[in-house]
Structure 1
């Protein structure tokens, strides 16, 4: 059985280390797992109930919801902006939490990881992301954690997939998320 894992990256920067981490996750996914990066978070308008009208949802938000509905699990990549998650990631969570009680996360497994320039690798942002996505209906796997500090120096010349330590840790994260999603889907 194939498990589709939707990756949401909280950084819009072209050279984002979190995006590179997501690309590495896609390359390192075990057999039977497909990690798909959602393109287009920059185009999703800020959540507003006035524009979240059935049959008239903005196209970018509808595309995000469709991708999320087709996913078996989620892998969120969060840098840390001013001590918390970036607005683009929070906005995606807000769109996916609706309609109330029937959001796209719907009990699906979610892991939150990432890298940041600071010495703790974005732990605060990742903790806030876990809290938010859990409230939004995701089944957060609390013990899957990967916070890589010093991203600007560590990945200055090396893509995360070529960093043996990071590749091993990332492989374990994706394998565990895949296993959890496969168990839930089979049940």
Structure 2
């Protein structure tokens, strides 16, 4: 059992989101990771460069930055909107990808991150995950390359209570979390 802490973000605000359900499944199949699901994405205001300094950031933004900095790794589940990531997720990442004052540091710099996603379409969240990976090239984050967890036709992978029941997806999820754990251990060894 590891004591690695992982902050999990769902790019969907929907109450019955399959992406949030994927994160709950990650908690169940964590392999010893301590996964906390962040529920404050709705509270993050639109990015405003004028307020992106330590003394002017909105409280919800400061809290998210603090929690990402404190976490050993991130787990992000994204749906696909218009062939990309949802605006609320991009907005939150805009807030946590900067340090204009050079005082606080960059919360995403070399942060171990695993990406997964669910969507009801035949291609799932393939394009959204590609777009999200591109964001993390800019932030110089340490993203898990494989396995990819793309829960396409997601409505067939969960039961009516929102539990992940598809064995292939569960196996991929477990493998993804195992690789994330290794990345975290490596990052801590380099500290």
Shared fold per TM-score greater than 0.5: yes
1:140 and 2:105 equivalent? Answer: no
Task: Supply the RMSD in Å over aligned alpha carbons.
Answer: 1.6
Alignment pair present for 1:157 and 2:163: no
For structure 2, the 5+ residue unaligned runs are none
Aligned residue among 118, 121, 129 for 2:121: 118
Using the TM superposition, give the Cα deviation of residue 137 of structure 1 relative to its aligned residue in structure 2, in angstroms: 2.9
CA contact (8 A) 2:69 2:107 kept: yes
Aligned residue number for residue 67 of structure 1: 67
Query: Is residue 115 of structure 2 the alignment partner of residue 109 of structure 1?
Result: no
The aligned counterpart of 2:24 is 23
- Give CA-to-partner distance per residue, 1:115-152, whole Å, 9 cap, x none: 11110111000100011122123112222311111113
CA contact (8 A) 1:110 1:141 kept: yes
The two structures have a TM-score, normalised by structure 1, of 0.92
Offset at 1:5? 1.2
Aligned equivalents of 2:49, 2:93: Cα separation in 1: 14
The answer to whether the Cα contact below 8 Å between 1:38 and 1:67 also exists between their aligned partners in 2 is no
Q: Structure 2 length normalisation: TM-score?
A: 0.90
Give structure 1 stretches of 5+ with no counterpart: none
Native 8 Å contact 1:111 1:144 kept in 2: no
Matched residues in 1 for 2:60 and 2:140: separation? 21
